[in-house]
Structures are given as C-alpha cells and as structure tokens.
C-alpha cells in the first residue's frame, strides 16, 4: 500500500511539473504586447493620462462657454410664497404706535427675465467661445507632446535592441576568435598571450552584452509607463531602426508651415482675441444696460380667494461715476494684450529656432548614416583581413583585437546614426506641428 501511494505521488508530481510550466508560459505570452510605433501612438492617444486631462479641460471650456451664453438667454423660475406678517403702523403713518396685522397671504407663479442689451455679457460669451478654441489648441499641443515622447522612447527601445543584437554578434565573433587562438596554441602555432588577449576581448564583449540586455528592459519600462500599461504587461516592439530616403526640404516652406500649423500659435491667437474682447468688455461697462423682467402670480389670503396678479418691468442701468474703476480696468486689459503679444513673439522666435535646428540636424544625420554604413563595412573587412593574417601566422592577434574594437565602435556609430536620423525626423515633425499626423497614419 505504501508503494502504491509513493507511485501515485510521483505520477502526480510529474503531471504538475509538466502542466504548470506550460500554463505559466501561456500566461506570460498573453501578457506580452507586440506593438508597432503607430500602435504605440494610437494607444497613447487613447489612455495616456496627460492626453485625458487635456480632453477634460476641453470639456470644461465647453461648459464654461455654455454658462456665459446662458446669461444672454431667457431665465424662468417657478416660485411660491406664503407668510403671516405684522408690523408697526407708526412706521408708515403719523399715528401712535399700533400694530397692523397680522396679515396672511399666499402667492405662486412663474417669474422670468431677459437681457435686452448688455455688451459686457455679450463679450463674456465671445470670450467663452475663444476659450473653447484655446482649450482645443492646448489639447492638440498636449497630444503633440505625448506623441513626441512616445516616438522618442520607442526609438530608444529600438536603439537598445539594435545595440543588444550587435553585442550578441560581437560576442559570437569574439568566441570564434578565442576558439581559434586556443586551437592554434594547442597545435604549437599560436602563443599563450594570443589566447589570453582573445579571452579578455571575449569577456569584455560579454560584459557589453549584459549591459545592452539590461538597457533593453529598462527602456521598455519607460515606454510602458508612457502608454499607461498594466504593471503585469510587458512590451515587444515590432519595428526596426531604418533609413528613409526623404525628399529635399525647403526651409522657408517649413517655417511658414510651422508658424501657421503649430497648435501653440493657434492658442496664442485665441489668447490675443480674448485679451482684445476683455478690453472691449471693460470699456463697454460705460454704456447703458437694458433688461426685462416679469412675473405672473396667483395671490390671495387663501387659495380659495386669490386672483391673478402680474408685473412687467423694463430696466436701464447707466453708470455715471465709478471713481476711476473702469479706466483702471481698461488700462489693465491693455497691459494684458501687450503681455500676450510679447509671449507670442517669443514663441515665434522659438519655433523658428526649432525648425532651423531640426532641419540642420536632419541633414547632418542623413550624411552621418552614409558615413557610418561605410565605416561599418570597412571595419568588417578589417576584421576579416586581420583574422586571415593571424590564422596564417603572419602576425599576432593584436591586429585582430584592434580590428574587433574598431568594429565595435563602427557598429555603435551605425546604430547611433540611424537613431539620430529617425529622432531628428521626429523632431522636425514636432517643430512643424505635424508629428501626430505623421506617426498615427
């Protein structure tokens, strides 16, 4: 019986050992998100917290505009009142102190009002409309910033992966050259120092691979944070660092596009209009304001003995003396216009600088890719030639180690040039206000 239980336990243990690893691997695979750059941008536009906050601010500005508009539209309420009052008759007549009342009454009915002419309220509504446009422009600015951050971090992941793959290739090369030096030493052709040099180079490349592998994971964490992914979900990117043959770009055309398409410019356009409207609204406080109000009520001592009563009132307010308040408010509003104008001019100068800098960086990156590709090809040829010379016994493996270092540097230069080219392309798109349209379509 004891042997039966032991066999059953062993079978159960083997079954669990065979089942749970598969379940774990399936669960792990299900938590891996394979994503392209376009998918990453679209996902950020859907669930990035900064983008969501910007959308909420747009909704808030829409509600503020509705609130400002409501002041220009008819207002109606339904009111009811009932009271018992008593007062001193001496307060209204020349008589001895005597109580009047108590009087009981009830009244109920609708009351309504309508603004006929109030220019400050009209300006307030127009300011609300411009506020909506400004909020939408600010939301687009936030979207551009988020897309730029997604592209930047996605490219960082691609660079880290390319660096890791290059490190793996160099480890494989260093391992082959070490094995070669070791075999030559065993046959008496090679020297012990050659084997040691090759082994040192192999360990260096292994260390570089460890660092590159860690960098791939940490850069993915940055991208996952920006995309607001669940903590248990990991990322695998589906794109690669590539070179795109871009058409010739004309600086003046790009500057004109940036100064009209950047959402920050549209936001300042709305701010300038709001400042002008605020000045007008302040100045127009000196003008008359007309209003209309009325009510219809059922009044009486009791519900059974009431009669209809109504009132219609047209009112006009005309300020005569405000002790300099309006004049000071107009001066402040004009100062605000000047402040917004200066901020806009500062923004235009920054946009011009960003476009010119991005264009120069793109031209330099395009040339750097060609140079880096040629350098990498030459470094590969150098390694091959040094390897043949060492294998033939013409020289020591110092040439091989030197060629390996040159290859590693050329590989890093190539990866860096491709990363810089793709990044400068994204920076130019951000500078001209079209980064979202470029990477989300």
Band (pLDDT 50/70/90 cuts) for residue 180 is confident
Domain residue extents for the chain: 29-81+117-287+325-439
- Nearest 5°: the CA angle 380, 385, 388 is 125
- Nearest 5°: the CA angle 192, 198, 204 is 140
User: In whole angstroms, what is the distance from residue 14 CA to residue 20 CA?
Assistant: 10
pLDDT digits (tens, 9 = 90+) for 249-269: 889 999 999 998 899 999 999
pLDDT digits (tens, 9 = 90+) for 330-366: 999 999 999 999 999 999 999 999 999 999 999 999 9
- Rounded to the nearest 5 percent, the helix, strand and coil shares of the chain are 70, 15, 15
pLDDT reading at 22 higher than 50 = no
Report pLDDT for 414. Answer: 93
Mean pLDDT of all residues in 182-209: 88
Domain covering 29-81+117-287+325-439 assigned CATH 1.20.1600.10 in the classification: yes
Question: Quick check: 270 and 133 in contact, CB under 8 A?
Answer: yes
User: In whole angstroms, what is the distance from residue 210 CA to residue 208 CA?
Assistant: 5
pLDDT digits (tens, 9 = 90+) for 164-174: 999 999 999 88
More confident residue, 372 or 391: 372
Residue 198: asked if its preceding bond is cis (omega within 30°), the reply is no
Question: What is the three-class DSSP state of 25?
Answer: helix
DSSP-derived letter for residue 95 is S
Report pLDDT for 371. Answer: 95
pLDDT reading at 25 higher than 60 = no
Report pLDDT for 17. Answer: 44
Report pLDDT for 335. Answer: 94
In this predicted structure, which of 13-27, 182-196, 287-301 has the lowest mean pLDDT? Answer: 13-27
Structure tokens at 107: 């009244």
Report pLDDT for 27. Answer: 39
Rounded to two decimals, the pTM is 0.79
């Amino acid at each position: 019986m004891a042997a039966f239980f032991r066999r059953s336990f062993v079978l159960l243990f083997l079954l669990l050992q065979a089942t749970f690893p598969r379940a774990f691997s399936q669960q792990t695979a299900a938590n891996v998100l394979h994503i392209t750059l376009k998918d990453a941008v679209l996902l950020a536009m859907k669930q990035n917290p900064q983008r969501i906050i910007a959308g909420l601010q747009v909704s808030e500005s829409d509600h503020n505009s509705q609130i400002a508009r409501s002041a220009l539209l008819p207002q109606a309420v339904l009111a009811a009142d009932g009271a018992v009052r008593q007062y001193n008759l001496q307060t209204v007549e020349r008589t001895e102190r005597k109580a009047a009342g108590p009087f009981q009454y009830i009244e109920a009915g609708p009351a309504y009002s309508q603004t006929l002419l109030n220019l400050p309220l009209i300006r307030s509504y127009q300011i609300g409309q411009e506020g909506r446009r400004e909020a939408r422009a600010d939301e687009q600015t936030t979207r551009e910033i988020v897309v730029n951050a997604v592209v930047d971090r996605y490219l960082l992941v691609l660079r880290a992966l390319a660096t890791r793959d290059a490190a793996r290739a160099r480890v494989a090369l260093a391992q082959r050259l070490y094995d070669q030096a070791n075999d030559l030493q065993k046959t008496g052709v090679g020297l012990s120092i050659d084997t040691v040099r090759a082994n040192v180079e192999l360990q260096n490349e292994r260390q570089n691979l460890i660092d590159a592998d860690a960098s791939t994971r940490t850069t993915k964490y940055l991208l996952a944070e920006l995309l607001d992914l669940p903590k248990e979900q990991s990322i695998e990117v589906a794109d690669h660092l590539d070179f795109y043959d871009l058409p010739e770009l004309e600086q003046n055309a790009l500057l004109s596009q940036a100064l009209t398409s950047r959402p920050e410019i549209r936001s300042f356009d709305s701010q300038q209009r709001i400042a002008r409207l605020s000045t007008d609204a302040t100045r127009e406080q000196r003008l008359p304001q007309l209003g209309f109000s009325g009510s219809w009520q059922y009044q009486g001592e009791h519900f059974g003995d009431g009669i209809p009563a109504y009132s219609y009132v047209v009112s006009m307010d005309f300020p005569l003396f405000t002790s300099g308040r309006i004049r000071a408010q107009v001066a402040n509003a004009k100062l605000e216009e000047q402040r917004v104008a200066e901020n806009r001019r500062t923004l235009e100068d920054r946009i011009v600088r960003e476009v010119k800098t991005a264009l120069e960086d793109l031209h330099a990156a395009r040339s750097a890719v060609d140079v880096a590709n040629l350098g990498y090809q030459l470094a590969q040829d150098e390694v091959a030639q040094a390897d043949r010379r060492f294998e033939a016994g013409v020289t020591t493996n110092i040439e091989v180690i030197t060629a390996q270092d040159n290859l590693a540097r050329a590989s890093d230069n190539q990866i860096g040039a491709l990363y810089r080219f793709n990044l400068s392309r994204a920076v130019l798109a951000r500078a001209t206000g079209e980064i979202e349209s470029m990477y989300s379509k």
